[in-house]
Amino acid sequence: MIKTAPDAWQDIRDAVRALCAEFPDEYHRKIDEQRAYPEAFVDALTKAGWLAAMIPQEYGGSGLGLTEATVVMEEINRSGGNSGACHGQMYNMGTLLRHGSKAQKELYLPRIASGEWRLQSMGVTEPSTGTDTTRIKTTAVKKGDRYVINGQKVWISRVQHSDWMILLARTTPLAEVKKKSEGMSIFMVDLRAAEKSGLTVRPIPNMVNHETNELFFENLEIPEENLIGQEGQGFKYILDGLNAERTLIAAECIGDGYWFLDRVTKYASERVVFGRPIGQNQGVQFPIAESYIEVEAANLMRFESCALFDAGKPCGAEANMAKYLAAKASWEAANACIQFHGGFGFANEYDVERKFRETRLYQVAPISTNLILSYVAEHLLGLPRSF
Ligand SMILES: Cc1cc2nc3c(=O)[nH]c(=O)nc-3n(C[C@H](O)[C@H](O)[C@H](O)COP(=O)(O)OP(=O)(O)OC[C@H]3O[C@@H](n4cnc5c(N)ncnc54)[C@H](O)[C@@H]3O)c2cc1C
């Protein structure tokens, strides 16, 4: 492994690394080839309590902060795994924790902490509106003590491996609200029950082994007690969770970045062409060194975002910038890694092509690079609003 400065979370790193070591490259490669879900890996993480890191102790979790949660995700990706299979729980649970009622927290959180229930899914994106979330067309209409859901979602991940989903739907039509961000609400959806009464799930085969789906809602009825927080405030609640999500994903990209750097430095030191290791050529060294600098710099912004979040301070700027820097750094590291593995970078057994595909996603999801640039231009630099 390449050297990284020791930090305050070495105990967590060592423990997660020990667990991950039981799931070597062959395991993740086979799961990827079979387009399967890493059930045993997620189960082991759950049993060890890592996926309940941010659940307060009174609800059966470890009561740790976002900082520690990001260290867990980083180590999973650095080990060669893909946190995309399970990271949803870390930030979805935060929405429930911050905005759920006491009764909801008592119902869901202990069961999530124990692993009885998984809360891995969040349904926001829609096919006809994309990033323009306030225009979503999925509606939730109150009927007696129930809400009736109609509409469509796309790219909703881990639905088949989660018991619950947080769903964003319009409860007041766009034309009837003062601000476009008002009139949307979030709900807990019992996925297995919903599949029997109005929810159709259609998997989307994709470039990464990422279980993601189109969802069709046709008069799906859900009990009113599944509304989280106040009706009409859902968009604000979802936004609250996004800073945690962006910071967690930044940490995953940093884990990926180190993984690529570990692999490429080893390979470039051992592979001899023209009578010397390829890593002796500066044309090979420099892109690797550049990637290392970029991953290290992204890491600083990630910890800045974590520190602010854990102190309860605004961290929108840092979370967005950390995600941007880390996704870019891991992508550059991926490019250097595949390039200097030559033909072997394309062979499945080296795992480089798999990780290359996995890290590419983070330029687009959960928020695309352009939208982060737009946030920085408008909110940090005061440039005129574009949309
Ligand atoms: C594997 C995968 C898993 C996902 N999982 C989930 C999930 O679990 N839940 C969920 O709700 N969503 C999920 N998503 C959706 C994801 O968040 C969106 O794909 C992403 O936010 C981009 O939205 P879009 O695909 O609709 O792109 P669009 O909004 O159609 O944008 C397309 C491109 O145009 C650019 N663009 C759009 N508008 C502008 C503008 N004004 N200025 C500059 N550029 C612009 C964007 O940057 C983007 O690159 C997932 C997506 C993928 C691929």
> With a 6 A CB cut-off, is 264 part of the ligand 1 pocket?
no
State the sign of the Cα–Cα–Cα–Cα dihedral 39, 45, 48, 52. negative
- Residue 39 CB neighbours (<10 A): 11
C-beta 128 within 6 A of ligand 1: no
Nearest CA to ligand 1 atom 9: 156
Q: Which amino acid would we find at residue 382?
A: G
d(C-alpha 108, C-alpha 94), whole Å: 12
Work out the end-to-end distance of the chain between its first and last CA atoms, rounded to an integer number of angstroms: 45
pLDDT of residue 166: 98
Query: Ligand 1 in contact with 130 (CB < 6 A)?
Result: yes
Instruction: Kindly report the number of other CB atoms within 10 A of residue 221's CB atom.
Output: 15
What percent of the chain is predicted at pLDDT more than 90? 96
**pLDDT, tens digit (0-9, with 9 covering 90-100), for 108-121:** 999 999 999 999 99
**Separation CA 20–CA 186 (nearest Å):** 34
Neighbours of 142 (CB within 10 A): 13
Cβ proximity of 150 and 119 under 8 Å: no
Q: Apex CA 96: angle with CA 93 and CA 99, to 5°?
A: 145
Residue type, 261: L
Angle between the N-to-C axes of helices 102-114 and 88-99, in degrees from 0 to 180, rounded to the nearest 10: 160
Which residue's alpha carbon is nearest to atom 13 within ligand 1?
Answer: 155
Q: Which atom of ligand 1 is nearest to the CA of 125?
A: 11
Mean pLDDT over 373-385 rounds to: 97
Find out whether the beta carbon of 307 lies less than 6 Å from any atom of ligand 1.
no
What's residue 358's pLDDT?
98
Tokens of 54: 């941010």
Which pLDDT does position 215 carry in this prediction?
A: 98
pLDDT above 90 for 35? yes
Say which residue the tokens 């979802």 belong to. Answer: 238
pLDDT for res 146: 98
Using the mean position of ligand 1's atoms as its centre, give its distance from the Cα of residue 167 in Å: 17
pLDDT of 3: 80
Please tell me the distance from the alpha carbon of residue 86 to that of residue 115, in angstroms, as a whole number.
Answer: 12
Residue 155 has pLDDT above 90, yes or no: yes
CA of 141 to the centre of ligand 1 (A): 26
pLDDT at 240: 82
Q: How many Å apart are CA 132 and CA 370, to the nearest integer?
A: 13
Residue-level pLDDT at 153: 98
Most informative mutation of 131, 156, 184 for ligand 1 (most atoms within 8 A of CB): 131
217 CA → ligand 1 middle, Å? 21
**Separation of 208 CA from ligand 1 center, angstroms?**
15
**CA 372 to ligand 1 center in whole angstroms:** 12
Task: Say whether pLDDT at 12 is over 90.
Answer: yes
**Average pLDDT score over residue span 23-32:** 98
The three-state (H, E, C) secondary structure of the chain, written as one string: CCCCCCCCCHHHHHHHHHHHHCCCHHHHHHHHHCCCCCHHHHHHHHHCCHHHCCCCHHHCCCCCCHHHHHHHHHHHHHCCCCHHHCCHHHHHHHHHHHHCCHHHHHHHHHHHHHCCCCCCEEECCCCCCCCCHHHCCCEEEEECCEEEEEEEEEEEECHHHCCEEEEEEECCCHHHCCCCCCCEEEEEEEHHHHHCCCEEEEECCCCCCCCEEEEEEEEEEEEHHHEECCCCEHHHHHHHHHHHHHHHHHHHHHHHHHHHHHHHHHHHHHCEECCEEHHHCHHHHHHHHHHHHHHHHHHHHHHHHHHHHHCCCCCHHHHHHHHHHHHHHHHHHHHHHHHHCHHHHHCHHHCHHHHHHHHHHHHCCCCCHHHHHHHHHHHHCCCCCCC
Mean pLDDT of 346-366: 97
pLDDT range class, residue 6, cuts 50, 70, 90: confident
Q: How confident is the model at residue 192 (pLDDT cuts 50, 70, 90)?
A: very high
pLDDT at residue number 261: 98
**Residue whose CA lies nearest to ligand 1 atom number 44:** 370
The 10s digit of each residue's pLDDT in 128-154 is: 999 999 999 999 999 999 999 999 999
Q: Which residue has the least CA distance to atom 3 on ligand 1?
A: 155
Structural contact between residues 232 and 171, judged by C-beta atoms closer than 8 angstroms: yes
| Whether the CB of 365 sits within 6 Å of ligand 1 | yes
Listed residue (231, 125, 237) closest to 183, CA to CA: 231
Q: What is the pLDDT of residue 1?
A: 85
Which protein residue has the closest C-alpha to ligand 1 atom 1?
210
Average pLDDT over residues 314-331: 97
Residue of 171, 191, 169 whose CA lies nearest to 183: 171
Q: How many CA atoms lie within 13 A of 134 on its CB side?
A: 15
pLDDT digits (tens, 9 = 90+) for 165-177: 999 999 999 999 9
- Residue 181: pLDDT band with limits 50, 70, 90: very high
The pLDDT of residue 139: 98
Band the pLDDT of 300: cuts 50, 70, 90: very high
Q: Per mean pLDDT, which range of 181-185, 235-239, 297-301 is the poorest?
A: 235-239
pLDDT tops 90 at residue 213:
yes
Interval between CA 331 and ligand 1 midpoint (Å): 18
The pLDDT tens digits for 261-289 are 999 999 999 999 999 999 999 999 999 99
